[in-house]
Amino acid sequence: MSTQSLTTNVSALPRASRAPFSRVLSMLAVRRERRALNSLDVSRLEDLGITRDAARREASKPIWDLPVRPF
């Protein structure tokens, strides 16, 4: 089942039931982003202003360690 189909199915749930699913979807998205960051070569990381060590540290964070995003 893809993330898109999960998102579609979650939107049909009552609002109070969506929060746990939304959190899991966020965790999966952040994990994908961290893996992508870790796969970049050094020149691309330099373009972003990120060191290889910083990319590895970010990629090694556990799935539940989500960045704080202000609303």
pLDDT at 40: 97
pLDDT at 68: 82
Query: What is the domain extent for residue 35?
Result: 3-59
Per-residue pLDDT of 2-59, as tens digits, reads 555 555 566 666 666 667 888 889 899 999 999 999 999 999 999 999 999 999 999 9
pLDDT at 7: 52
Please count the structural domains in the chain: 1
Q: 70 in a domain, yes or no?
A: no
Q: What is the pTM of this model?
A: 0.67
d(CA 19, CA 22): 5
Q: How far is CA 14 from CA 19, 21, 27, 28, 41, in A?
A: 10, 12, 21, 22, 43
pLDDT at 53: 97
Q: 67 in a domain, yes or no?
A: no
Q: 66 in a domain, yes or no?
A: no
Report the Cα 32 to chain-centroid distance in Å.
5
